[in-house]
């Protein structure tokens, strides 16, 4: 439970502030040593480290030293970090990917900047910079998630709920171990919720900008905080929050300077949105696409239930999860879980807290969580073999080995 100092500040709120809009109003002070790394953080990080090490070992068993680094979008984030969008149309690098330079506008600069910082520290070893950025993101999102739970007093035991988040959702576990921007993006969102609660509007704005420069969905956290201020009847701060919306058009203006157009992001992603629950109504009639509606149901149903509970425990996070629930209902993508993750984590882990922390389930959940992780480890081996670049190609992207342009038929990704 939350510390007494923070709890007493909440008790000073009027009854309708506590009951009608839980979690909406600011607290007078943070618990003592709120930001300090404590024994609970170290215990959580020990567990996190064990999980990460096992995943890396499994990656090595696939025959690749760079497995977790070359997975999915990791190589592209490294390439953006190396070039910062100074991508030639001709020359060696132009044939590393089967995509025009404008495609890389789909990879927002927030995460590549972190990779660039760590790579600079290790003397431009971009593979090592990516590895350090993965560890940094996993530690940061774990550290901030626990503090989010503490400051909102929305779960019975923040330490135990954070512990469960190390094992579940399984997709969340995977993306904390590979080169993905989700942990960084979610960290910015968690910071925004915390600074909203503590009324630190300058740091709030920086967090909103960070989220918007990391993923396009950063607009959702800006809208969530703005609406929360409106529900609080704090018009000046609601208007101030609107400054958060400037980051995304500012980024698109930067893209227009680099590539001559500000619409390239939308051109490469215009296939992702479809009519409401298109996968259930249309794609489910095709056996090949039966996985899409199945995934949508397994994600949407628990997310909806958890979000409804959030409205009586933490309204700002409920709004945020609602936005993501609506977002995935229009989404046409095979990896619905990835796109729903920021809202799903809050809806399920907080919304189902009374079940998670119940005496009957608590001990059993520790066993089940580890069993789920074993199942996920089996899945990782398949994922690492399918959705990654080969080692030679990844070395070229990281500039570990130099390569010579061999014409349009040279090796591409």
pLDDT in tens, the chain (413 residues): 444 444 434 445 565 556 567 788 888 888 889 999 999 999 999 999 999 998 888 888 777 788 889 888 899 999 999 999 988 777 556 667 778 889 999 999 999 999 999 999 999 999 999 999 999 999 999 999 999 999 999 999 999 999 999 988 888 998 999 999 999 999 999 999 999 999 999 999 999 999 999 999 999 999 999 999 999 999 999 999 999 999 999 999 999 999 988 888 888 877 666 666 665 655 555 554 555 566 667 888 899 999 999 999 999 999 999 999 999 888 777 778 889 999 999 999 999 998 888 887 777 777 777 777 677 666 666 666 667 778 888 888 887 655 444 444 444 44
CA distance 22 to 359: 25
Asked, for residue 6, whether it belongs to a domain, the answer is: no
Q: Is 31 helix (H, G, I), strand (E, B) or coil?
A: coil
- Residue span of the structural domain in which 374 resides: 54-397
CA 132 to chain centre: 17
Burial class of residue 271 in the structure, from the number of CB atoms within 10 Å of its CB (0-12 exposed, 13-18 middle, 19+ buried): exposed
Name the packing angle between helices 110-121 and 126-152 (round to 10°).
120
Name the packing angle between helices 291-310 and 336-351 (round to 10°).
30
Q: Do residues 24 and 17 make contact, with C-beta atoms less than 8 angstroms apart?
A: yes
Asked, for residue 11, whether it belongs to a domain, the answer is: no
Asked, for residue 36, whether it belongs to a domain, the answer is: no
Q: Do residues 23 and 2 make contact, with C-beta atoms less than 8 angstroms apart?
A: no
Quote the pLDDT of residue 413.
41
Which residue reads 């495609």 in tokens?
Answer: 103
CA dihedral 177, 182, 188, 194 (to 10 degrees): -80
CA distance 344 to 172: 10
CA distance 223 to 124: 37
CA distance 231 to 238: 9
- Report the phi/psi class of residue 30: left, alpha or beta, with left for phi > 0 and alpha for psi in -120 to 50: beta
Asked, for residue 330, whether it belongs to a domain, the answer is: yes
Asked, for residue 242, whether it belongs to a domain, the answer is: yes
Quote the pLDDT of residue 21.
73
Q: Do residues 320 and 189 make contact, with C-beta atoms less than 8 angstroms apart?
A: yes
Instruction: Work out how many domains the chain is built from and give that number.
Output: 1
Asked, for residue 33, whether it belongs to a domain, the answer is: no
Quote the pLDDT of residue 283.
54
Q: Do residues 69 and 100 make contact, with C-beta atoms less than 8 angstroms apart?
A: no
Quote the pLDDT of residue 146.
98
CA distance 225 to 181: 21
Q: Which of 144, 154, 216, 151 is nearest to 186 (CA)?
A: 144
CA distance 117 to 137: 13
Asked, for residue 44, whether it belongs to a domain, the answer is: no
Q: What is the helix (H) or strand (E) element at residue 124, kind and residue range?
A: none
Asked, for residue 58, whether it belongs to a domain, the answer is: yes
């Amino acid at each position: 439970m939350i510390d007494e100092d923070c709890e007493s500040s909440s008790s000073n709120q009027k009854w309708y502030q506590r009951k009608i809009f839980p979690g909406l109003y600011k607290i007078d002070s943070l618990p003592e040593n709120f930001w300090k790394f404590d024994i609970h953080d170290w215990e959580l990080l020990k567990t996190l480290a064990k999980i990460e090490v096992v995943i890396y070992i499994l990656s090595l068993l696939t025959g690749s030293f760079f497995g977790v680094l070359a997975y999915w979008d990791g190589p592209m984030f490294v390439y953006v970090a190396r070039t910062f969008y100074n991508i030639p149309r001709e020359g060696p690098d132009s044939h590393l990917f089967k995509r025009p330079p404008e495609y890389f506008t789909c990879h927002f600069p927030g995460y590549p900047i972190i990779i660039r910082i760590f790579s600079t520290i290790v003397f431009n070893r971009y593979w090592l910079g990516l590895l350090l950025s993965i560890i940094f993101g996993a530690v940061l999102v774990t550290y901030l998630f626990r503090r989010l739970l503490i400051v909102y007093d929305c779960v019975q035991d923040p330490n135990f709920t954070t512990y469960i988040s190390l094992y579940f959702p399984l997709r969340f576990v995977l993306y904390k171990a590979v080169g993905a921007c989700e942990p960084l993006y979610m960290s910015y969102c968690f910071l925004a919720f915390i600074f909203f609660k503590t009324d630190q509007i300058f740091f709030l704005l920086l967090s909103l900008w960070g989220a918007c420069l990391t993923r396009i969905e950063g607009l959702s956290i800006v809208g969530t905080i703005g609406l929360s201020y409106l529900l609080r009847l704090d018009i000046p701060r609601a208007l101030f929050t609107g400054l958060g919306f400037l980051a995304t058009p500012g980024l698109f203006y930067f893209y227009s300077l680099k590539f001559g157009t500000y619409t390239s992001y939308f051109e490469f992603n215009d296939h992702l949105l479809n009519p409401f629950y298109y996968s259930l109504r249309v794609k489910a009639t095709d056996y090949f696409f039966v996985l899409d509606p199945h995934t949508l149901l397994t994600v949407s149903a628990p997310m909806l239930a958890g979000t409804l509970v959030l409205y009586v425990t933490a309204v700002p996070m409920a709004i945020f999860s609602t936005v993501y629930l609506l977002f995935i209902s229009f989404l046409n993508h095979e990896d619905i879980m990835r796109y729903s993750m920021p809202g799903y984590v809050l809806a399920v882990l907080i919304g189902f807290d009374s079940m998670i922390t119940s005496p009957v389930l608590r001990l059993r959940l520790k066993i089940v969580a580890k069993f789920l992780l074993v199942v996920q480890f089996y899945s990782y081996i398949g994922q690492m073999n399918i959705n990654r670049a080969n080692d030679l190609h990844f070395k070229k992207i990281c500039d570990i080995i130099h390569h010579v342009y061999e014409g349009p038929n040279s090796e591409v990704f």
